Chain A
Amino acid sequence: MMQATEAILALPAAATPYADKVDGLFWALTGVCGFVTIGITLTIAYFCFRYRRGTPVNRKLPDLASGKRRSRRIETVWILVPLAFFFIFFGWGARLYYIYDDPPRNALAIYVTAKQWMWKVEHSNGRREINELHVPVDRPIKLVMTSQDVIHDFYVPAFREKRDVLPGRYTVLWFEPTLRGVYPLRCDEYCGTAHSLMTGTVYVMSEGDYGRWLASGSEEPTLARLGFDRFRELGCSGCHGPSSTLHAPSLAGLYGRMVPLADGTFVRFDEAYIRDKILQPAKQIPAGYANDMPSFQGRVSQQDILELTAFLRSLANTSPDVPQGNHLP
Chain B
Amino acid sequence: MSEKLLELKNVTMKFGGVTALNEVNLHVNKGEIAALIGPNGAGKTTVFNVVTGVYKPTSGEVNFVGQSVVGKKRYQVTKIGIARTFQNIRLFGESTALENVVTGADVHSKSGVIGSIFGTPRSRREEKAALERGMELLAFMGLKHRAGQLGKNLPYGDQRRLEIARALATNPQLLLLDEPAAGFNPAEKVALAATIRKIRDAGYTVLLIEHDMSLIMDISDRVAVLDFGQKIADDVPKVVQNDPRVIEAYLGAPADAS
Q: Do A and B come from one complex?
A: no
- Tell me the B residues contacting A by CB distance below 8 Å: none
